Structure 1
């Protein structure tokens, strides 16, 4: 157990230690020179910090703090106001209190306050703002209290046990009126849509595969081609929409976890965006939040899968609401899995015959082969391939850079993967750092050029 003298010395501030050092020096010089005034001054300099330490260590205090966070959930880049109500629950008047609120680095700097001589039972309200520059679940507090003497020579610290949560969710960006599958109304009537809407001769078809429903055989196309052909149907988004979010660390350029004030001005992004995604993973998560919210608004039964498993609502099963999706994506970080096999398996199990939207990082042909095999049903699926090289522009504070050879290899792999997906009937778009989610969504809904292959080579 430390002695009172040891506690007094450990509570000295830098100023107090300097005064003690100066007093010791004066005492030594005065004793060597025989100068009594120097010795007297040295004794005073040494006694002052000691008396201040005793006075501070003898102080007793009892305080309570209550926080109110408004709002308790903010989108990334948004701000929240924190109201801190401090109450002196002791029977004595408080001294000079220096308070510091402990705030995570992703929310800004820790604010400080000074409260002096708070009366017994008295209350004071302290407010500050936090900026949600980093997505995730954050904890505000606890409050750190420092008791200091009037000369600033001694301080005593105590940390409370109170705290309050703040959830920073991905931003939901506007997607506009367009989009795939013609879902431009705010819900629609839920009727089924086929890929061709005028005339029996325009129906999209593909070759028959074992297991296909014989009721879907298109006899006119079968007679014309000589091979058994089946009709292609596109499921309505109102039935179900499933997201696959690629969170593999190896498939993204993950920016270092620096504070927003240090990263300002070095993150590429669309024009007019004052808080662009710091890396390709953040873009993918933000796109999943935006697309998922739009599908849920239009009446789809929403489900979401990552390469590590399905994102489930609090009930543990069933469809996700928009709030559920945002809350789950808020805590989604990079995974260490090498491949998408687990995510594809979960996707096929969750989606069934409904359409899917795959938001992928850096992928090549080998990564999408299992995806194509697992999604060989009658629906038209969507894929967004991320151009991670666009986030690798050399800039101070960025974590990973790419050589010209690496850029060329990634581009070639992405183009090969996109070609495979398009040949299998997928709609594919490429997302860059300067591309908005709305632009990618509109590209996915744009009409296919003439001659573009549909599902398994069928004309679109």
Structure 2
């Protein structure tokens, strides 16, 4: 064991140690060729120094325990978290010269380094550093890598621990006011008029298709047997505001300024931040919200109930750009959701074929809204699809396709807003309310027949 430890230490020579060994070998060779005994003696001394250092490092034993505390553990994008790493010497002897390096993902910046010298037995050294959440995601902090060095800096021995901690960087949530002028999305916690379905007999029960998350106790077995599809009955329930949030996450539909700068224009990050802000705002107002992306619907972890504000932010934190070429999967999910209320669609660079299917999927009450990327403004701000800027012909084609898509949505009765890179989510939300007010009130859905009232 000691021989193995010595071999490991000898193989961990630093650049200074390797240079010293090379110099010793050179002096020994010259002394032997020239017959100079003094040079041979000097060579032996030079070669012995790294060997003695390796023995000293190999004999160092250490037992270290670490513990991390991340404050806060859920960090809004752009904010700073403080990390406390407590390093305890659990050995019976004092530690030597320890160089400690915290292992971090490249997205969180440079790895912090610390120096701890002669830590007493049972003592704890608190090490602190800060992290700036420049990118969304779930990141692992640690483990701590310990390096033992001799006083001359000739031999380096490394060891890594196993203790880690998690940091979740969620999207920023901008404070919003009002409903943005969206009919049916405001909500007042479910308070208001009551909507009921008449139940005069078993055959008169109103039913609909089973949706994910429905209570199985509401399954209507006669209707299920008759239709061949799982059906649930509609019972008297309070009217509750509802909305659907649709987020386009396709990599091909967004412009980015690159991963090198956190301040670079990025349409996907803007859209995710807008979806998080609008979603949390509507949920806090009591609206029933369903969130759909081009890859499908976002649900609570393990299918437990509906998404709340915290669960929504957690899902958005780990949401990455998708490789889907079109919006077919998301549009089909949006059609099956059939939520009574407006659809709020946050779109990237869309074409006529994308919005045609999107407009056909919506037929419910409420004013549907599409917030699209202003391609000209984002391109002028430096955003691009790749490292190279777009050619004039590609830029013209991109802008032309988007103008056609916007015209199709408006002709279908949608409210369409083009967002520029300097605009914030709260400004766009205010524009939605102003545009709806200028267009006049939205006609509410007709009342139910008299026999269907509670």
TM-score by length of 2: 0.80
| Post-superposition CA distance 1:194-251 (Å, at most 9, x none) | xxxxxxxxxxxxxxxxxxxxxxxxxxxxxxxxxxxxxxxxxx9951121111111111
Q: 1:34 to 1:317 in 2, by over 3 A?
A: same
CA contact (8 A) 2:341 2:364 kept: no
Q: CA deviation at 1:52?
A: 0.7
**Contact 1:254/1:400 (CA < 8 Å) preserved in 2?**
no
Equivalent in the alignment of 1:272: none
Q: Matches of 1:169 and 1:370 in 2, distance apart?
A: 31
Deviations 1:429-460 (A, max 9, x none): 111222211222222222359899x99xxxxx
Q: Contact (CA 8 Å) 1:237, 1:300: kept in 2 or not?
A: no
What RMSD, in angstroms, separates the aligned Cα atoms of the two structures?
2.8
Cα pair 2:103 2:143 within 8 Å, conserved: yes
Is the 2:185–2:287 contact (alpha carbons within 8 Å) kept by the matching residues of 1?
no
Q: Tell me the residue number matched to 2:411.
A: 423
2:186, 2:241 within 8 Å by CA — same for their partners in 1? Answer: no
Structure 1, residues 131-170: CA drift from partner, whole Å, max 9, x if none? 1111100010000000110100001000111100000000
SS at match of 1:127: strand
TM-superposed CA distance for 1:5, in Å, is 6.6
Q: TM-score, normalised by structure 1?
A: 0.79
Residues 317 and 409 from structure 1, CA distance in 2 versus in 1: closer, same or farther, beyond 3 angstroms? Answer: farther
Counterpart of 1:435 in 2: which secondary structure? coil
Q: What displacement does 1:401 show? A: 2.3
* SS of alignment partner, residue 311 of structure 2: helix
Alignment match, 1:402: 390
- 1:239 corresponds, among 238, 241, 255, to 241
Separation in 2 of the partners of 1:377 and 1:296?
A: 20
Q: What is aligned with 1:80?
A: 81
* Alignment partners' CA distance in 1, 2:109 and 2:5: 38
Other structure's SS at 1:353 match:
coil
How far apart, CA to CA, are the structure 2 residues paired with 1:397 and 1:182? 36
DSSP-derived class of the 2:405 partner: helix
Deviates more, 1:382-391 or 1:320-329: 382-391
Q: 1:317 to 1:185 in 2, by over 3 A?
A: closer
Change (3 A) 1:449 1:242: closer
Could you tell me which residue of structure 1 aligns to residue 333 of structure 2? 346
3-state secondary structure, aligned to 2:301: coil
Say if 2:57 is the partner of 1:56: yes
The structure-2 alpha-carbon separation of the partners of 1:410 and 1:36, relative to structure 1 and needing over 3 Å to count, comes to: same
* Higher mean C-alpha displacement, 330-339 vs 378-387: 378-387
**How far apart are the structure 1 equivalents of 2:408 and 2:304?**
33
What is the distance in 2 between the residues matched to 1:375 and 1:183? 15
Query: 1:229-280: per-residue Cα shift (whole Å, max 9, x none)?
Result: xxxxxxx99511211111111111244333xxxx266x2xxxxxxxxxx411
8 Å Cα contact 2:257/2:384 also seen in 1:
no
CA change 1:351–1:170 in 2 (3 A) is farther
Tell me how far apart the structure 2 counterparts of residues 428 and 238 of structure 1 sit (CA, whole Å). 26
Change (3 A) 1:169 1:409: same
CA spacing shift, 1:141–1:405, aligned 2, 3 Å: same
Matched ranges for 1:108-119 at <5 A: 108-119=109-120
In structure 2, stretches of 5+ residues that fail to align are 194-237, 444-454
Matches within 5 A, 1:49-198: 49-177=50-178, 179-181=180-182, 187=188
* Aligned mate of 1:376, from 355, 363, 385: 363
Tell me, what secondary structure is at the counterpart of 2:435?
Answer: coil
**237-246 or 51-60, larger mean C-alpha shift:** 237-246
State the alpha-carbon separation in 2 of the partners of residues 12 and 398 from structure 1: 43
SS of aligned partner of 1:69: strand
Cα distance change on mapping 1:111 and 1:18 into 2, 3 Å: same
Q: Secondary structure at the match of 2:30?
A: helix
